[in-house]
Chain A
Amino acid sequence: MARMTMIEAIRDAHDVAMSADERVVVYGEDVGFFGGVFRCTAGLQAKYGKSRCFDAPINEGGIVGTAIGMAAYGLKPVIEIQFADYVYPAFDQIVSEAARLRHRSNADFTCPIVIRMPAGGGIFGGQTHSQSPEGLFTHVSGLKVVVPSNPRDAKGLLLAAIADPDPVIFLEPKRLYNGPFDGHHDKPIVSWKKHPLGDVPEGDAIVPLGKASVYREGGDVTVLAYGTMVFVAEAAAEATGVDAEIIDLRTLLPLDLDAITASVRKTGRCVIVHEATRTSGFGAELMALVQENCFYHLETPIIRVTGWDTPYPHAQEWEYFPGPVRVGAALKKVMED
Chain B
Amino acid sequence: MSSETRPLSLNVPEPGCRPGDTPDFSEFEIPKAGSVARPEVGVDPDDIRDMAFSIVRVLNKEGEAVGDWAGLLTPDELREGLRHMLTLRTFDARMLNAQRQGKTSFYMQHLGEEAVSCAFGRALEPGDMNFPTYRQAGLLIARDYPLVTMMNQIYSNAEDPLHGRQMPIMYSSREHGFFSISGNLGTQFVQSVGWAMASAISGDTKIAAGWIGDGSTAESDFHAAMVFASTYDAPVVLNIVNNQWAISTFQGIARGGVGTFAARGHGFGIASIRVDGNDYLAVHAVAKWAAERARSGHGPTLIEHVTYRAGGHSTSDDPAAYRSQNEAAAWPMGDPVDRLKRHLIRIGEWTDERHTQAEAEILDMVMTAQKKAEAIGTLATGKHPSPRDMFEGVYETMPPHLVRQRQEAGY
- A associates with B: yes
Instruction: Name the A residues within 8 Å of B200 (CB-CB).
Output: 51
Evaluate contact between A65 and B187: CB separation under 8 angstroms.
Answer: yes
| Residue from B166, B192, B193, B393 within 8 A of A107 (CB atoms) | B393
Contact at A105–B195, with CB atoms within 8 Å?
A: no
By the criterion CB–CB under 8 Å, are B190 and A61 in contact? yes
Is the Cβ of B172 less than 8 Å from the Cβ of A108? yes
Least CB separation from B390: chain A residue: A103
A311 interfacial by beta-carbon distance below 8 Å: no
* Interface flags, A51-71, vs B, CB<8A=1, else 0: 110001101011001111110
8 A-B residue pairs with CB within 8 Å: A59-B223, A69-B196, A96-B184, A104-B166, A104-B180, A108-B172, A165-B396, A254-B401
Question: Does B224 lie within 8 Å of A69, measured CB to CB?
Answer: no
Quick check: B194 and A66 within 8 Å, CB to CB?
yes
Q: Say whether B224 contacts A65, CB under 8 Å.
A: yes
Residues of A within 8 A of B182 (CB): 96-97, 100, 104
Q: How far is the CB of A103 from chain B (nearest CB, A)?
A: 5
CB-based nearest A residue for B393: A103
A16 within 8 A of B: no
Across-interface contacts of A255 in B (CB, < 8 A)? 401
**What's the nearest-Cβ distance from chain B to residue A24, in Å?**
11
- Evaluate contact between A102 and B129: CB separation under 8 angstroms: no
* A106 contacts chain B at the CB level, 8 A cutoff: yes
In contact, B180 and A108 (Cβ under 8 angstroms): yes
Docked-complex contact A68 and B191, CB < 8 angstroms: yes
Closest 5 A-B residue pairs measured CB to CB? A69-B194, A66-B194, A62-B224, A65-B190, A254-B399
Q: B223: shortest Cβ distance to chain A, in Å? A: 8
Using a CB–CB cutoff of 8 Å, the interface residues on chain A facing chain B are 25, 51-52, 56-57, 59, 61-62, 65-70, 72-75, 77, 89, 92-93, 96-97, 100-110, 141-142, 144, 165-166, 210, 254-255, 257
Chain A contacts for B55, CB-based, 8 A = none
Asked if A69 and B220 make an inter-chain contact with CB atoms under 8 angstroms apart, the answer reads no
Assess whether B98 is interfacial by the CB under 8 Å rule.
no
Residue of A nearest to B178 (CB): A108
A70 touches B194 (CB 8 A): yes
The 0/1 profile, CB within 8 Å of A marked 1, for residues 367-403 of chain B is: 0000000000000000000000000011110011100
Closest to B166 in A: A104
Is B221 touching A65 in the complex (CB atoms < 8 A)?
A: yes
Pick the contact of A166 from B161, B166, B183, B396 — CB < 8 Å?
Answer: B396
**B106 in the interface (beta carbon within 8 A):** no
Question: CA–CA, A97 to B186, complex, Å?
Answer: 11
Least CB distance from A271 to B in Å reads 23
Q: How far is the CB of B132 from chain A (nearest CB, A)?
A: 13
Q: Is B228 an interface residue (CB 8 A)?
A: yes
- In B102-120, the 8 Å CB interface with A consists of none
CA distance A141 to B231 in the complex (A): 33
Chain A residues near B162 (CB, 8 Å)? Answer: 104-106
- B399 contact set on A, CB distance < 8 A: 210, 254
B197 at the interface (CB under 8 A from A): yes
Instruction: Give the size category of B's interface with A.
Output: 35 or more
Specify which chain A residues have a CB less than 8 angstroms from the CB of B170 in the assembled complex: 104
Complex Cα spacing A77 to B202, Å: 13
Q: Kindly list chain A residues whose C-beta atoms are within 8 Å of the C-beta of B61.
A: none
Which of A56, A77, A106: most chain B Cβ within 10 A?
A: A106
Q: Is the CB of A73 within 8 A of B195?
A: yes
**Chain B min CB distance to A73 (Å):** 4
State the Cβ distance, A112 to closest chain B Cβ, in Å: 9
Count of inter-chain pairs, beta carbons less than 8 A: 141
Residue numbers in B under 8 Å from A257 (CB-CB): 400-401
CB of A70 within 8 A of CB of B184, answer: no
Q: How far is the CB of A62 from chain B (nearest CB, A)?
A: 3
Interface residues of B in 175-233 (CB under 8 A from A): 179-180, 182-184, 187, 190-202, 208, 220-221, 223-225, 227-228, 231
B69 at the interface (CB under 8 A from A): no
Do A66 and B190 form a contact, CB below 8 Å, given A96-B184, A103-B394? yes
Which residues on B sit within 8 Å (CB–CB) of A62?
190, 221, 224-225, 227-228
Give the most central of A75, A89, A104: most B CB within 10 Å. Answer: A104
Q: Contact check, A61 vs B196: say whether CB atoms are below 8 A apart.
A: no
Of the candidates A51, A67, A92, the one whose C-beta lies within 8 Å of that of B187 is A92
Q: Does B174 interact with chain A (Cβ within 8 Å)?
A: yes
Q: Using Cβ atoms and an 8 Å threshold, which residues of chain B touch A141?
A: 394
With a cutoff of 8 Å between Cβ atoms, the chain A residues found around residue B354 in the complex are none
Contacts of B396 in A (CB 8 A): 102, 107, 110, 165-166
Question: Of the candidates A89, A106, A165, A254, which one forms a contact with B172 in the assembled complex, judged by CB atoms under 8 Å apart?
Answer: A106
CA distance A177 to B338 in the complex (A): 66
Per a CB cutoff under 8 Å, which of A25, A51, A59, A101 touches B227?
A: A59
Kindly list 10 other residue pairs between chains A and B, CB separation below 8 angstroms, not including A69-B208, A92-B187, A102-B394: A57-B228, A59-B227, A65-B191, A69-B193, A73-B129, A73-B195, A73-B199, A108-B172, A110-B396, A254-B395
Q: Is B198 in contact with A74, judged by CB distance below 8 angstroms?
A: yes
Given A69-B197, A75-B198: A105 touches B180 (CB 8 Å cut-off): yes
CB-contact partner of A102 in B166, B202, B395, B401, under 8 A:
B395
Question: In the complex, which residues 140-191 of chain B have their Cβ closer than 8 Å to any Cβ of chain A?
Answer: 161-163, 165-166, 170, 172-174, 179-180, 182-184, 187, 190-191
> In this assembly, does B250 line the interface, its C-beta being within 8 Å of a C-beta of chain A?
no
- Output the nearest chain B residue to A57 by Cβ-Cβ distance: B227
Task: State whether B194 touches A68 (Cβ < 8 A).
Answer: yes
A73: nearest chain-B partner, CB-CB: B198
**A89 and chain B: residue at smallest CB distance:** B220
Whether B172 lies near A65 (C-beta < 8 A) is: no
In angstroms, Cα B170 to Cα A74, docked, is 22
In the complex, which of the residues B172, B220, B224 contacts A104, with contact meaning CB atoms closer than 8 Å? Answer: B172
A296–B196 CA distance with the chains assembled, in angstroms: 56
Chain B residues near A89: list those with CB within 8 A. Answer: 220
Query: How distant is A119 from chain B, measured CB to nearest CB, in Å?
Result: 22
Q: How far is the CB of B239 from chain A (nearest CB, A)?
A: 15
- Nearest A residue to B195 via CB reads A69
Complex: chain B residue closest to A25, CB-CB: B201
Which residues on A sit within 8 Å (CB–CB) of B191? 65-66, 68-69, 72, 97
Q: Which A residues lie within 8 Å of B163 (CB)?
A: 106
